[in-house]
Amino acid sequence: MKEFKIVVLGNGGVGKSALTLQYVQGIFVHNYDATIEDSYRKLSKVDAENARLEILDTAGTEQFTGMRETYYRTAQGFVLVFSLAETSTFENLKHTILEIMAIRGEEVPMVLVGNKSDLAETRQVEESDAQNFARKLRIPYIETSARLNQNVSEVFEECAVLIQKSAKNHMLRSSNLCRSIAATRGKHALSGDDYQYLEKSEIPSYHFQKSLRRLPIPKLPDTVNRYLASSKAVLSPDAFAKTEAAIRSFETNEGPKLQESLLEYDKAHRDTSYISEPWFDMYLRARVPVAVNYNPFMMYAPDPDPKFNDQLTRATNLAISYARIKRSLDENLLGPEVFHMNPKKSDTKLFRTVCKTLPPSLSWFGAVAFKAFPLDMSQYKSLFCGSRIPKKEKDVLYLDSTQKHFVVFYKGVPYSVRIFDDSGSLLEPEDIHASLAWILQNGKEAKPEESVGSLTSLDRDSWAEARIELENAGNGEHLKKIDGGLFAICLDDLKTEEHKRLVQSLLIGDDARNRWFDKCFQTIIDANGQATINFEHSWGDGVAVLRLMEESFKDTNKNHFVSPDDKPKSHNPAHVEALNFQLTDSLKARIQEAQKTHVSANSDLDFATMEFEGLNRDLIKKTKLSPDSVMQLAIQMAFYSLYKEFVPTYESCSTAAFLKGRTECMRSATAATRTATLAILEENRKDVRQLLSDCSSQHFQLVKEASMGQGYDRHLLGLKITAQRLSQPIPDFFQDPGYARMGHFVLSTSTLSTETIVFGGFGPVVPDGFGIGYNVVASKLGAVISSNKSKRDAAAFANALYKSLDILRGHLLESNEHNFNRFQLLLLPDFKMSDPTGTPTRPDMVEAARKFMLTPKVRESSFEEQRKFLLGKGLTESEILEARSSIPPEQLRSQIGADHGVAGNGSNQVMMAPQQNRVLAVAQSAVVLGAISYAGYKFIRSYILPRFFDIPDPATEETRQLQAQVNDLQNSIKFIMDSVSQTTQQLATQQAEISRALYSVANRDADLSRVESGISTIKSLLLSQHNFAPIVTPSVTSSIPSWQQSAIPTSATSMTTTTTSEAASGYATPPANFKGSSLADELADIETIE
């Protein structure tokens, strides 16, 4: 539903509030208190479409003029009100209009309103004067009477129509600009290689792979101590004592030998990490369905231009962008994944030149010299053209990068759609557009028993049996086309804006008729044009998928390859093939049974969404707290408020900074979060600022440890699998109830803090758990919660999470240590006006709240105090607001005084300006005076003194010195480049000498001695000419959870896959005298963690 934000402006007493109340509530109030700021919402029709009007009734008194600039910048449209009975209000409004135009421009939607038309005997402003003024501004003029309800609704609806037209005009201008650009370059804006490739990076895609550091194995005592620290925050004292005894025994008995064996295993497999093979094995041996249990989803943000959020248009544009990314990746032209500590300083031409010049075995060290840290890209090789194939006991991963088509699912029927020609070139946009348009126009719905995709929702053994039967029925080629397709696009007929229904479709897929859950990734595009990726989890942890989404989002927003205005041409029949399977009665029965099983298995699954606009990423950062730690603390508070206990909590952290690193578990339920939760919820303490800082600091430490491979979960799993690999008895510690309890993740969380993704989610990992995908972005905090409703209440948790964030917001407001303006938080969007779960209001609760608010003693309290009390009693935001809106304003007079600090006598009440406004005014005056003084000083020093008194400007000498420093820096850089070039040439010379030495048996010893001497000289030159920065590794929080499994495989055999492993040789280690530092040293310079 579209929302229109309208601000009502005008002098005090002109009837702004009367107009607003008449429109929203249908009442006219003769006497009411002056307004500071009131917000209202009303459902209406705009251009025959449902819309929500958000109306902000503003202060008209002079004390609050400082707030107007905020209104000017944030509103979509303005209702400008003056009184027909007072000429001064009309004249003052002219100044307001000029201020708006100065900030927003001349085309901002505005409606001029002359109110109190019923007071004909006291009228001072003639209609002709107002009409002429409005005509000059090219805005509508309407005369109203709030008392008689004349033309009131017309005012606000006309403003909404103007906002709608303004948005359409903006889109039209953007579209015309795109067409103009396209006209100069052909049918679409890009051509040649610019169209064929997303980019042509100077540094090859896999340039850093051979020099990446290997994932470290933590020391056993460190793992034991970290395990105990985490357990103490969750387990009862008795359970903790038992688990401490168990792990201490393990530390002194079986642990050291298993640690030694694990280190030997890691040393023998230098082309991978100690956790990579067991992690693949764990996923591929799992026999449960991949849908819900493993596959997560991530929803794209809509295209900024709403016109392009069309199903056919978006599907075409995304498909083209995916193909461009694949071509760049296949030809080693996609830029490598690099984490820059300071992109402005390190992501430069010099950085790229140095790194591409260095050989792959040394390139990592060159990047680190710039404080830039390459990340592992081994998972990118499975991003396209892959699928998981069901097999008995253990699945395999299939990959065929030679394919030139992608797969489309529509109405349960799979189609093969050509996207590359025979030479491997990307087809033109109109060809791909035509193919997809033909499917949408001519695709016939498959019968339920013929929708083969439903079979991918089965448990893996059942699906393996069904697949064999499919192949025996002659469907092998169709299966290969689906498995080997670049990717899958699922075109859904669903058209809904209800979050709960949308999440259900994206994660479960209803009866799975239009899904293929085994595909590397499938992009689901509904009838509204909303695009979402659902991907199979065994091949990767989401790092590559997140990069894919960010790159394709930027690409399709910048390059609209097709437009909704483009009429599809006739399709090429050779480019589209419907994959019609040959199905026996047995297979049809299997498909129907799969659909019933899938629906039944997920019938207990429930979802809720939560959005909180009272805080955002940037505001939390200004408090010197980690935004992620604040969200994790709110999650702990929410769970404790509902269940009065603390439970193991999983947050995924990527270890992609290491060769073939996967993920590490961050145990977000800490001693600090436990203390803070109890202090806030049980002890009702107000002085919790230090507790919040402790939570942030401890969370920061967890991030550093996990990203450096120093968590304890993967290490303990590696030790357990080592015992299995050696056919030794599983140590008693792994049978300890405390260890089992710590692996039972009731709260499984993952953050998706990027503007590219609206939200993402996954299923709960244990029956009595919550799956929580959350995002912390510049505008708000949000979450998608999943649970089994027979065990947990997702909607109740969403409400509790909302309340927890509101409580934390209050503490941030009350803190005296933050360095941002408190007024800035008060002017956040109307986050209190929305119900976090979207659940319907309860009439009995609304009536109870209304009666409560009308109680004499309650009326003397502020609305905020009433709201907090009612929230604590279980009411929702929407119920409280509905109750308040049903009370006539005159009955809220006492409360309004309490809310806004009203003072005065009788009807001539005067609003007392808040203290922060006076401080703000003084600060603004000081800034203005300072700016004027500085400008005068610069003018005298730079112009008057040199020109009339021959006194040189000191800044000139400073400029000369700065220029000299820049020249010295340029010379130093040139020297470094020359040294690198010289070193490269000498390396080539020594390589030639080594070749000659190999062919010269007689002089082999002498040649080798000479080469050894030369290499020693070069090594000394290289290490003395370059002052490398400390070796560090970045922390990158994963976007997608990889869950800790409670059931560990009984064996750890090699992963079965159709791809070949990388060679074991060629992975360099740092020189012996290379001085490095840990990532913790570098991260200590960062104030906050995103």
Which residues are identified as catalytic? 537
Nearest to 76 by CA among 13, 170, 178: 170
Residue 694's CB: how many other CB atoms inside 10 A?
18
In the numeric block, which tokens belong to residue 403? 């394919």
Q: What residues have CB less than 8 Å from 832, skipping those under 6 apart?
A: 614, 867, 877, 881
Q: How far is CA 622 from CA 813, 827, 1035, 1036, 1084, in A?
A: 12, 16, 21, 21, 17
Q: What residues have CB less than 8 Å from 722, skipping those under 6 apart?
A: 258, 261, 262, 265
Nearest to 73 by CA among 60, 56, 90, 87: 56
| Residue for token pair 């707290």 | 625
Residue 866's CB: how many other CB atoms inside 10 A?
22
| Residue for token pair 């820049």 | 966
Alpha-carbon Rg for the chain, nearest whole angstrom, is 33
Nearest to 412 by CA among 475, 483, 468, 490: 490
Nearest to 215 by CA among 282, 260, 281, 269: 269
Q: How far is CA 568 from CA 175, 437, 538, 558, 575, in A?
A: 18, 7, 38, 21, 14
For the chain, how many helices (H) and strands (E)?
A: 38, 26
CA distance 1049 to 1027: 47
**Environment class of 436 (CB within 10 Å of its CB; exposed 0-12, middle 13-18, buried 19+):** buried
Residue 25's CB: how many other CB atoms inside 10 A?
16
Q: Give 39's strand partners.
A: 56
Nearest to 587 by CA among 456, 422, 470, 730: 470
In the numeric block, which tokens belong to residue 594? 């799969």
Would you say 1079 and 1035 are in contact if contact means Cβ atoms under 8 Å apart? Answer: yes
Give, rounded to a whole angstrom, the gap between the first and last alpha carbons of the chain.
31
Residue 110 has φ and ψ, to the nearest 5°, of -140, 145
E strand or H helix that includes residue 654: strand 649-654
Between CA 497 and CA 499, with CA 498 as vertex, the angle to 5 degrees is 105
Would you say 419 and 433 are in contact if contact means Cβ atoms under 8 Å apart? Answer: no
Q: What residues have CB less than 8 Å from 1047, skipping those under 6 apart?
A: none
CA distance 591 to 466: 9
Would you say 427 and 421 are in contact if contact means Cβ atoms under 8 Å apart? Answer: yes
CA distance 1003 to 455: 68
Q: What residues have CB less than 8 Å from 865, skipping those under 6 apart?
A: none
In the numeric block, which tokens belong to residue 112? 């001029």
CA distance 368 to 938: 42
Nearest to 806 by CA among 733, 746, 741, 876: 876
In the numeric block, which tokens belong to residue 931? 């700016």
Q: How far, rounded to the nearest angstrom, does the alpha carbon of residue 287 sit from its chain's CA centroid?
A: 31
